[in-house]
Structure 1
Amino acid sequence: MAGDIIYADIKTDGAFSLGNSSSLQKSDTHHHGIFLKVGCAIIIILLVTVIVLSILVSFNSSTAHKSCPSKDWRLHGGKCYWVAEANKSWHESKNDCAMKNSHLMVIRDFIDMSFLWKHLNTGVFYWIGLTIPPGGESWTWVDNNPFDSHLFSIEEKWRTRSMKCAQVSQIR
């Protein structure tokens, strides 16, 4: 038996034949090719979209605040400021700004503060958009945001029952 050779016939279904195996391999390769093409197309579309959007954002941000409504306005830090020369009350100044589709100055950061120090005359008082609303006890900006005491301090000596608004001046 040690030298005997045994032969056997193995019968299988058609699903496992070698001829069918090559068609499955071709089908997989075809699907991989389609997925690769679709994936590349999606990446290219996303890349073009990002490029177009960044160009639009760049264009809008560069032209949005290039100029102010008129030469009376001053551009600083991407914002337009208008400095009134007339002496008016806080409420008159607030209404005057509203007629110009604007509001009294709201100081959010040191860029806004730098406008004050750069463009305003020393010793002259200017109204800003800071007030204590009726019935309120804390300072609030005209855009309803709370006052941030880290930017500057408020002297309370000018506050009376009738005057709950703020003005600013530069002292040297």
Structure 2
Amino acid sequence: MNSEITYAEVRFKNEPKSSGTKSEPPTAPKEKTNPQKSDSSFPKLLASLLILLLLLTISFLIAFIYKDWSCCPKNWTSFGSNCYFISVESGTWDESEKKCSSVKTHLLVITAKAEQEFIIQKLDKSSAYYVGLSDLQGKNNWQWVDQTPYNESATFWHSGEPNDLSEHCVILHFRASPRKWGWNDVRCNQHQKFICKMMKIYL
């Protein structure tokens, strides 16, 4: 009798007490967490990357506009950073320069072979064209109208030219023999066509 009572007491002692309602299983103890400072370097890195991306975008747009939003006036030809107007009317050298000046340009100044090669492809072989090179003082002291230094190593005179101290202005014209374009000195009062040159307009 005593052993049964002891057994019953032991059995009930180990069981959870019942309060008449369904009990929920005990929850696991919460782990202790140590508060740590949030990593503040990531937002700074993200902000730097966004600023860099913005600067690259602005630089690209500026380069795109500078390159692609340049233009020449109507009836002008584009080459490099310049525009060229090839006249169909004739005049003296002085009249030709004044016509170029009236539209804020000047007679053609040629400083490179590539420019010379480009221009001659646009010209009429039966015509001659004034360029902005002259020796108005008659001392064989050739000067460009825009004050670009005259460089003898970058000239395109025909063979034997210049050949007359009384001829102070220069034309670009085609010779049949040999078949090529080149420069000739001529009298400035001759009536010839002309070529104007200006910098491109950037919008």
Q: Distance in 1 between matches of 2:79 and 2:43?
A: 50
Unaligned runs of 5+ in 2: 1-35, 180-203
Q: Distance in 1 between matches of 2:138 and 2:174?
A: 30
- Alignment TM-score, normalising by the size of structure 2: 0.55
Match of 1:50 in 2: 56
Q: Distance in 1 between matches of 2:64 and 2:129?
A: 35
Distance change >3 Å, CA 135–CA 121, structure 1 → 2: closer
The CA deviation string for residues 11-47 of structure 1, in whole angstroms up to 9 with x for no partner, is xxxxxxxxxxxxxxx99x98xx56x765664454244
Match of 1:121 in 2: 124
Unaligned runs of 5+ in 1: 1-25
Deviates more, 1:98-107 or 1:45-54: 45-54
Query: Share of identical aligned residues, percent?
Result: 23
3-state secondary structure, aligned to 1:119:
coil
Amino acid at match of 1:53: S
- 4+ residue runs over 6 A deviation: none
Greater fraction strand = 2
3-state secondary structure, aligned to 2:174:
coil
Match of 1:112 in 2: 115
Which of 97, 100, 104 is the matching residue for 2:103? 100
Give the paired residue count. 138
Report if the CA contact (8 A) 1:128-1:167 is conserved. Answer: yes
Query: Is 1:169 aligned to residue 190 of structure 2?
Result: no
Amino acid at match of 1:147: Y
Which of 134, 140, 144 is the matching residue for 1:141? 144
Match of 1:14 in 2: none
Distance change >3 Å, CA 102–CA 63, structure 1 → 2: same
Report if the CA contact (8 A) 2:140-2:165 is conserved. Answer: no
3-state secondary structure, aligned to 1:106:
coil
The CA deviation string for residues 119-147 of structure 1, in whole angstroms up to 9 with x for no partner, is 11224211111123648753222111112
Amino acid at match of 1:63: W
Match of 1:157 in 2: 163
Query: Is 1:59 aligned to residue 65 of structure 2?
Result: yes
- Alignment TM-score, normalising by the size of structure 1: 0.64
Larger radius of gyration between Structure 1 and Structure 2: 2
Distance change >3 Å, CA 77–CA 111, structure 1 → 2: farther
Match of 2:19 in 1: none
Q: Which has the higher contact order (CA 8 A, sep 6+)?
A: 2
RMSD: 3.0
Greater fraction helix = 1
